[in-house]
Amino acid sequence: MLVLTRKKGQAVIIGGQIRITVADVSGETVRVGIEAPPHLDIYREEIYRAIMEENASSITDNKGLREMLAQNNGEETKKED
């Protein structure tokens, strides 16, 4: 991890496309401004983690649903025979 010291109003450029500026410092709280291309999604870490957990849960739920549907299709086929 790269650790930098910046003062209010100073910025860091990442990859020539992303600019992170220190907007305000109040006690232990730092407000940052982020300028990035519109195709990049920007999330606070806790929101990003919640999204990833929800996606993982959805995949697990879908797997169970697919298994249930496959079992039902198999039972329907047996009933038709």
Sheet strands side by side (includes 11-14): 11-14, 18-26, 29-35
Quote the CA–CA distance of 70 and 20 in Å, as a whole number: 50
Please tell me the predicted confidence (pLDDT) of residue 61.
63
pTM: 0.65
Tell me the β-bridge partners of 57: none
Please tell me the predicted confidence (pLDDT) of residue 8.
97
Kindly state the helix (H) or strand (E) to which residue 19 belongs, with its residue range: strand 18-26
Digitized pLDDT (tens) for each residue of the chain, 81 residues in all: 999 999 999 999 999 999 999 999 999 999 999 999 999 999 999 999 999 988 887 776 666 667 777 777 765 544 444
Place of tokens 């086929």: 77
Quote the CA–CA distance of 74 and 71 in Å, as a whole number: 5
